[in-house]
Structure 1
Amino acid sequence: MSLSLCPWVALVALVVLVQGGLGIAFTKVISVENGGPWGDWGDTEFCPENTYATGFQLKVEPHKGFFGDDTALNGIRLLCSTGMATANEGPWGSWSYPLSCGRSQRLVSFRLRVEAPRGLWDDTAANNLDITCSDGTVLEGQGGLAGVWGNWSVSCPFGWGICGLQTRVEPPQRGGDDTGLNDVKFFCCA
């Protein structure tokens, strides 16, 4: 590389570093391995700039009985230190009571309760979500009871917190077996 290009390389590196300060580059994705298989990943949604998630709400359809088409978990909303972030969501259910960490705490890890595919029987995929606060407190979601809890995700690095999410949601199947929300990824910010 010629020496005349060195100042330009330094300028490009500085621009990337400054963009990272806006929450673009300094993120880490945390996920779990037991998410459901149906649907598409929606857009990523973040808390307002320089804020972290301190709580959450779940959008859940109650159990509909033996002959109903259950979908269970349909949405996740992050409650940020100012504002909120809601990713792609299914059309069924209503929002649960908000759950929040203690003062000055952030969300840092999670686990998902998922029902495995059931063949000809009614599938629900994701049913519930638990999230850990930075002080170790576990916020237990108020979702469905079907399926099993998977392992906890890795935690955000020390001093970081969850600041965004992306969900995998199956669209309505028009007479077929609906599942709603299948999986989620959270983003940690410095």
Structure 2
Amino acid sequence: MEQGVGANLLLLWAMCLGHAQADGSSGYASVIEVTNGGPWGGWARPEMCPDGFFASGFSLKVEPPQGIPGDDTAMNGVRLHCTRGNAEHVVESQSGRWGAWSEPLWCPFGSFLVAFSLRVEAPVIPGDNTAANNVRFRCSDSTELEGPGLAWGDFGNWSEPCPKGICGLQIKIEQPRGLRDDTAVNDLRFFCCRS
């Protein structure tokens, strides 16, 4: 799907979910994506920072390596830590069942998240697939923050930047598959703040 078409569909979905403002405009300006996301799972419901809050930190839910013959899933969730002054609000899209949440990583005081890059393991057939393993964010002051995810796969290109910062997220996640291979998080997209 072309990025413009995907962004328009997300805008329509967000409006239907009540994320639209009273004047009919969306609560975000655009959507940023990367091209190397994993192929499995579906998109969960978008989650947005409250009005006037900007994402200035993040944390990850990560399952450590399971060894042989375990089933590795690596990254199982992402939380945005949205701030306004001294107030903080945490948002997360759906997350997988495995692993534990990390401590938040923060942009330097006064800056906020603006772009991201995703570390993804290419499909291995047959094999133990993990899909998304880690994420990096760039802050508005150019600081780069790398999450505490796992090292399988490669980081892809950086997304386009959000001029006024990130204020929401949506996660592509594969649901548990029983005795079959699980991957959990496959892809991410983020919403750019309107103001």
What TM-score, normalized by structure 2, do the two folds share? 0.84
Task: Give the structure 2 partner of residue 189 of structure 1.
Answer: 193
Query: Alignment identity in percent?
Result: 51
The residue that corresponds to 1:89 in the other structure is 95
**Residues 74 and 180, structure 1, Cα contact 8 Å, conserved in 2:** yes
Give the alignment's TM-score, normalised by structure 1. Answer: 0.87
Distance apart, 1:84 and its partner CA: 1.2
Deviation at 1:25, TM superposition (A): 5.0
Distance in 2 (CA, whole Å) between partners of 1:29 and 1:173 is 30
Cα separation, 2, equivalents of 1:117 and 1:46: 30
Is the 1:48–1:84 contact (alpha carbons within 8 Å) kept by the matching residues of 2?
no
Number of matched residues?
171
The equivalent residue for 1:134 is: 140
User: Which AA in structure 1 matches 2:30?
Assistant: K
Looking at structure 2, the residues matched to 25 and 180 of structure 1 have their Cα atoms a distance apart, in angstroms, of: 28
Quote the residue 1:42 is aligned against.
Answer: 44
Conserved 8 A contact 1:58-1:77: yes
Asked if the contact 2:77/2:94 (under 8 Å) is kept, the reply is yes
Superposition deviation, residue 19 in structure 1: 4.0
1:176 to 177, 180, 193: 180
CA RMSD of aligned residues (A): 1.5
Q: What's the CA shift string for 1:47-84, capped at 9, x where partnerless?
A: 11111100000000000112110000000000000201
Give the equivalent residue in structure 2 for 1:60.
Answer: 62
User: Which among 32, 36, 53 is matched to residue 30 of structure 1?
Assistant: 32
Equivalent AA in structure 1 for residue 49 of structure 2: C
Q: Which residue is 2:124 aligned to?
A: 118
Give the structure with higher Rg (CA). Answer: 1
> Is the 8 Å Cα contact of residues 34 and 159 (structure 2) preserved in structure 1?
yes
1:110–1:153 CA contact under 8 A, matched in 2: yes
Shift of 1:26: 4.0
Matched, 1:71 2:70: no
User: C-alpha distance in 2, partners of 1:149/1:130?
Assistant: 8
Q: How far apart are the structure 2 equivalents of 1:84 and 1:69?
A: 29
1:180 and 1:34 map into 2 onto residues whose CA distance is 16
Structure 1 residue ranges without an equivalent (≥5): 1-14
For structure 2, the residue ranges without an aligned partner over 5 or more in a row are 1-19
